[in-house]
Amino acid sequence: MSILQVAATILLVLGGFFYFAGTVGLLRFPDVHSRLHALTKADNLGLGLVCLAMALLGGSWRGAAMLLVIWLLGLLAATVSCHLVAQAALEPAAAGDGGSGGEAIAPMGRSYGGADAVTEASAEEADATRRRTGAWPDGSIAEQPAPRRSADTSSGASPADPPTPRGDP
Amino acid sequence: MSQAAIYVMAAAAVIGAGVYGLLVGGHLLRKLLAINLLGSGVFLLLVALAGRSGGAPDPVPQALVITGIVVAVSMTAFALALLDRLFRETGQARMDVADDDD
Amino acid sequence: MSLALDGLLAIALVVLALQVVAGASLFRGIVMFVVFGLVMALAWARLRAPNLALAEAAIGAGISGALLMLGYRRLRAAGPEATRPGPRSSRLAAPLSLLVAGLVASLGWTALGLPEALGAAGAAVVAAMPSQAVANPVTAVLLVFRGYDTLLELAVLLVALAGARAVEGPAGPAELATPTMTGLPIVGALLAALVPLSVLVAGYLVHAGGNAPGGAFQGGAVLAAAGVLLVLTGRLVPHPVPGPVERWGAVLGLLVFSALGLVMLARGQGMLSMPGAWAIYLVESAMLVSIATTLVLLLGAAPGLRRGPLP
């Protein structure tokens, strides 16, 4: 195999690893925003590496330019959809009809903490929802401390806190 | 197994899943999804058989399936319009009938 | 090695299909259906059908997914009870579906063993291809050899549009959910980048469809996707009265194709025969406009569209 093919293979494997890492993040992270972070960043890097490998194997500048455009379009689409999903997950009550994002995007508003989660999702999803409602010290959502940190959520500030005023727990 | 055989088996399984969804799905959207799956399975069968020799695939089934994909999306749109009307008139979008065959 | 890829794709298709019909929630079923469409596009690419891969990715995964999501959202607006899946248990369903799958599998297995590589029609097409004005055999079949099917397919799109309006009833079209978050500057940037690019890509697909994978359906789907983006972000607003663009756009493909066919019939050369590559490109351009308009109108669920307020 020529040096080009070896380099392309290494890049492909690396890209595949990043896709794998992004998917592991999607499956293992506890809430919407960290999942979005893992998915968007890792997947787009993986896409870039795969496009680079294809450009090396393609052998023409035109093909390489088209692959660059494909990567940029992928970045654009992923960025915008990530931003929109993150915004929607922050303010579910303001998301229009107040119902459509409820099941798939982890609901974080107080209005979804109770009835929807119980009637709609299975018990496991309801647990995840309860965990998530405590994860963001927004002014209106401060009822339950996040159980994934051990006991001292209500006292100290965790390093992930944004500098917003916390409501009373 | 050749490539065409793999996709023929997959197409048969997808058609089976579509029939299952059509029979079991209580909600009409589920039935619509199952009908779309049935269509996709049939398309897969057609195109897999079109390329069963290793050479150039038969272009006639491919053209038929392109037509089929567009017809499937128009059917989906029309079915959703029907579903909306049914939901507005009767307030529910299910076909749960009382006399199950249990 | 490549068979391993085909095997993985086949397994993915079956697993996704089962998730669609027997998944936990309706929303999950719709999402899995979109993913199923994307994996189908990969399968089409593997089966040496690039025209189909383009069409499936744009229409099957994109437009169908958007339609189903919007329909789900309209139901969901009435409360979570409207979209509870709750499958009925049925003792006949599993054996019956296994029977059907087995029947199809045995049919397919037998058909795999047929001696001729191409059907009779396919062999005739392949034999007639070198003398055609276009080099893409699928485009030739769609417009030259089976033009009647394509003409009627444009009619099917129009009938679906008319039918959707006919079943609306006296209350008018269903409410499209108010787009939210459309004032974000990033949405404006996305539209400014994607919509002109989609128009360019759609035109290129029609132009390239003569000699390379592409064609009017794929281009029409890409243009429709741009229109769907505009509708979803509030730049195009559904309106009860259709304007001239919607009216003419919806029928243009059918009109041009039938007019050309009748002219050729009058000149004694057989209806729907294509007198050259220019005729094919003319009809495909008209089809592009009409497919895109019809799909966007079907998604907007209203007779017309107006330019929405710029946020």
Considering the entire predicted model, what is its pTM? Answer: 0.83
Cβ contact A138:A165 at 8 Å:
no
Chain A 115-144, residues with CB within 8 Å of chain C CB atoms: 116, 119-122
Integer angstrom CA distances of residue C206 from A129, A166, C286? 48, 57, 10
Rounded (5°) CA angle C304-C56-C11 = 140
Cβ distance of A99 and C84 shorter than 8 Å? no
> For residue A153, what are its two tokens?
């959520």
Taking only the tens place, the pLDDT of each residue in C257-278 is 999 999 999 988 888 888 888 8
DSSP reduced 3-state for A150: coil
Residue of C33, C34, C180, C204 for testing the chain A interface, max A β-carbons within 10 Å = C180
Q: Name the more confident of A114 and B82.
A: B82
How many Cβ pairs closer than 8 A exist between chain B and C? 306
Strands C304-307 and C236-239: antiparallel
Q: Which residues have C-beta within 8 Å of that of residue C212, sequence separation ≥ 6?
A: C135, C136
Nearest to C70 by CA among C151, C173, C160, C143: C173
Q: Name the more confident of C113 and A118.
A: C113
Residue C19 has pLDDT above 70, yes or no: yes
Neighbours of chain C (3+ CB pairs under 8 A): A, B
Cβ contact C44:C36 at 8 Å:
no
Cβ contact B37:C24 at 8 Å:
no
Nearest to B60 by CA among C284, A94, C145, A80: C145
Q: What is the DSSP string of C288-300?
A: HHHHHHHHHHHHH
Chain B 26-55, residues with CB within 8 Å of chain C CB atoms: 26-27, 29-30, 32-34, 36-37, 40-41, 43-45, 47-53, 55
Question: Which amino acid does the sequence have at C39?
Answer: V
> For residue C255, what are its two tokens?
């009109």
Note the pLDDT of residue C42. Answer: 95
Structural domain of B82: 3-90
Question: Which amino acid does the sequence have at A158?
Answer: S
- Percent of residues, chain C, with pLDDT higher than 90: 55
Q: What gap in Å lies between CA C197 and CA C173, rounded to an integer?
A: 31
Nearest to B87 by CA among C77, A116, C165, C303: C77
Q: Could you state, in order of their start, the residue ranges of all structural domains in chain C?
A: 1-78, 135-311
Q: What is the mean pLDDT of residues B7-23?
A: 95
Cβ contact C215:C205 at 8 Å:
yes
Domain-embedded: residue B99? no
Distance to chain C for A157, nearest Cα, Å:
31
The DSSP code for C236 is E
Q: What are phi and psi of C238, to 5 degrees?
A: -60, 145
Low-confidence ranges of chain A (pLDDT < 50): 94-127, 129, 133-169
Rounded (5°) CA angle C301-C302-C304 = 135
Q: What is the mean pLDDT of residues C86-102?
A: 84
Nearest to A88 by CA among C181, C19, C251: C181
Mean pLDDT of chain C: 89
Domain count, chain B: 1
**Residue C141, burial from CB neighbour count under 10 angstroms (0-12, 13-18, 19+):** buried
Note the pLDDT of residue B102. Answer: 44
Q: What gap in Å lies between CA C150 and CA B66, rounded to an integer?
A: 10
Q: What gap in Å lies between CA A50 and CA A67, rounded to an integer?
A: 9
Q: What are phi and psi of C304, to 5 degrees?
A: -145, 175
Chain B 55-84, residues with CB within 8 Å of chain C CB atoms: 55-67, 69-78, 80-84
Note the pLDDT of residue B48. Answer: 93
Note the pLDDT of residue C276. Answer: 85
Note the pLDDT of residue A92. Answer: 62
Of C80, C178, C180, the CB nearest to A116: C80
Kind plus residue range of the DSSP H or E element containing C306: strand C304-307
Neighbours of chain A (3+ CB pairs under 8 A): C
Residue C87 has pLDDT above 90, yes or no: no
Q: What gap in Å lies between CA A79 and CA A36, rounded to an integer?
A: 10
Place of tokens 């896709």: A19
Q: Is A99 on the interface with C (CB under 8 A)?
A: yes
Domain-embedded: residue B22? yes
Q: Is A81 on the interface with C (CB under 8 A)?
A: no
Taking only the tens place, the pLDDT of each residue in C135-179 is 899 999 999 898 999 999 999 999 999 999 888 877 777 777 677
Note the pLDDT of residue B53. Answer: 83
Note the pLDDT of residue A69. Answer: 94
Note the pLDDT of residue C117. Answer: 75
